């Protein structure tokens, strides 16, 4: 053991050194603990994964390429870009791919966000924006929800008036699943500075198709000529969380091109094949989305009958609102004791929320049977 250990904080930028380390990620130790204690497969309903698994076309595509992993992948993602661009009706040059949409978000620290820049978002929302914002030395402004669990457009617009440089709009929002309606978005964009970048996190957008009032946010941003980056992932609806693939659609080819330089081989050879196969199997995708939609309605009805408050979710999860974080944590612990993993977290002020992934109908039955306040 050396007698002089350099304080690691001296090696980091002060913004990063001052950050409080947070626990993130799946609870792999706890999964195996539950498995051996209860002799059951744990129900993993804390990370919004697709419980049905990938399309059989994905499995075939991976198997077909498995002997080629000694070769580097196509770092331009040429074929995938073409297919994805056709799917979205945009030029391929406006797309970029990386190992998860979080990796693209992380690039915003190095390439865009400067110390003192203001970032406006919701509270609670996907915490990664706060992590990268803090690391970049940005000034984070979070808008809390109202008593009726909605987010106020007026307050969002007011907050925008104070020189906001980045708007992080997670739609559907993680963990609440909530969203702004089309006219509300138009109002927000109108209140923003024309150079404000909208970071639109659409990780769960595929699950909103059955919500008739869910807006096409990209279309609205384009009509307003507002700069944006829409972050998408294939981890959720496409069941590729373990393959690590996310992508972004930006408002113009030049912006995408400027963001692209960086590690060149971040999307693996098998991942590329898996993504293209997943994109092709529209039936597999649709079946899952429809189950999520009908189960969401069924779960919400049950929650109402149990007098449990919940947010209006368009995602593949429901989100309960609890008066305190401790109450939310008690639910998480109780669920875990019977082998069900859900996610409690801080809500507004001292309130708590519990986010529960919508699973297969039999999984959801088990959640509802065990859910008490």
Ligand X SMILES: Cc1ncc(COP(=O)(O)O)c(C=O)c1O
Q: Taking a C-beta distance cutoff of 8 angstroms, is the pair 174, 205 a contact?
A: no
Residues in the chain: 373
Contact region with ligand X (CB under 6 A), list: 57-65, 95-103, 292-300, 341-349: 95-103
Q: From the CB of 301, what's the least distance to ligand X, in Å?
A: 25
Report residue 257: phi and psi, to 5°: -60, -35
Of 184, 201, 332, 363, the one binding ligand X (CB under 6 A) is 201
Contact region with ligand X (CB under 6 A), list: 16-24, 70-78, 96-104, 356-364: 96-104
Dihedral sign, Cα of residue 242, residue 248, residue 253, residue 255: negative
Q: From the CB of 246, what's the least distance to ligand X, in Å?
A: 3
Nearer to ligand X, 203 or 353 (CB): 203
Listed residue (318, 364, 324) closest to 345, CA to CA: 324
Residue 177 engages ligand X in binding (rule: CB under 6 A): no
Q: With CB under 6 A as the rule, give the number of residues binding ligand X.
A: 13
Residue 130 engages ligand X in binding (rule: CB under 6 A): no
Q: From the CB of 9, what's the least distance to ligand X, in Å?
A: 28
Residue 174 engages ligand X in binding (rule: CB under 6 A): yes
Q: From the CB of 306, what's the least distance to ligand X, in Å?
A: 26
SS3 assignment, position 235: coil
Rg, C-alpha atoms of the chain: 21
Greatest CA separation found in the chain?
A: 65
Residue 279 engages ligand X in binding (rule: CB under 6 A): no
Residue 123 engages ligand X in binding (rule: CB under 6 A): no
Nearer to ligand X, 203 or 285 (CB): 203
Q: How far is CA 97 from CA 66, 265, 266, 270, 278, in A?
A: 21, 10, 8, 14, 15
Residue 55 engages ligand X in binding (rule: CB under 6 A): no
Contact region with ligand X (CB under 6 A), list: 83-91, 99-107, 217-225, 328-336: 99-107
Nearest to ligand X by Cβ — which residue?
100
Of 61, 94, 95, 102, the one binding ligand X (CB under 6 A) is 102
Listed residue (315, 306, 320, 102) closest to 199, CA to CA: 102
Strand partners, 167: 120, 198
Q: What is the DSSP string of 17-59?
A: HTSPP---S--HHHHHHHHHHHSS--EE-SS---TT---HHHH
Residue 100 engages ligand X in binding (rule: CB under 6 A): yes
**Interface positions with ligand X (CB under 6 A):** 48, 100-102, 126, 170, 174, 201, 203, 233, 235, 241, 246
């Amino acid at each position: 053991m050396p007698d002089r250990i350099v304080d690691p904080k001296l090696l980091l930028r002060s913004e990063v050194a001052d950050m409080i380390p947070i626990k993130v990620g799946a609870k792999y130790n706890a999964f195996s603990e539950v498995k051996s204690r209860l002799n059951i497969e744990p129900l993993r309903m804390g990370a919004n994964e697709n419980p049905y698994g990938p399309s059989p076309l994905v499995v075939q595509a991976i198997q077909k390429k498995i002997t080629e992993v000694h070769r580097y992948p196509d770092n331009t993602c040429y074929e995938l870009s073409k297919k994805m661009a056709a799917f979205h009706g945009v030029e391929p040059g406006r797309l970029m791919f990386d190992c998860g949409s979080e990796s693209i978000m992380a690039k915003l620290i190095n390439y865009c966000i400067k110390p003192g820049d203001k970032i406006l978002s919701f509270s609670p929302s996907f915490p990664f924006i706060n992590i990268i914002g803090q690391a970049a030395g940005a000034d984070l402004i979070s808008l809390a929800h109202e008593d009726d669990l909605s987010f106020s457009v007026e307050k969002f617009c007011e907050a925008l008036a104070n020189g906001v440089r980045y708007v992080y709009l997670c739609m559907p929002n993680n963990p609440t699943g909530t969203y702004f309606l089309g006219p509300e978005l138009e109002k927000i964009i109108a209140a923003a500075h024309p150079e404000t970048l909208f970071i639109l996190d659409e990780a769960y957008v595929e699950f909103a198709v059955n919500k008739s009032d869910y807006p096409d946010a990209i279309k609205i941003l384009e009509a307003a000529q507002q700069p944006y980056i829409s972050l998408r992932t294939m981890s959720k609806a496409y069941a590729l969380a373990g393959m690590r693939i996310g992508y972004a659609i930006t408002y113009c080819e030049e912006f995408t091109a400027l963001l692209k330089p960086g590690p060149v081989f971040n999307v693996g050879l098998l991942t590329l094949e898996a993504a293209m196969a997943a994109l092709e199997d529209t039936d597999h995708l649709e079946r899952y989305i429809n189950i999520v939609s009908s189960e969401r309605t069924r779960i919400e009805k049950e929650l109402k009958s149990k007098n449990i408050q919940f947010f209006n979710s368009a995602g593949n999860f429901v989100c309960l609102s609890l008066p305190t974080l401790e109450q939310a944590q008690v639910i998480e612990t109780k669920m875990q004791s019977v082998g069900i993993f859900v996610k409690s977290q801080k809500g507004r002020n001292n309130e708590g929320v519990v986010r529960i992934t919508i699973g297969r109908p039999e999984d959801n039955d088990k959640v509802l049977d065990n859910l008490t306040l």
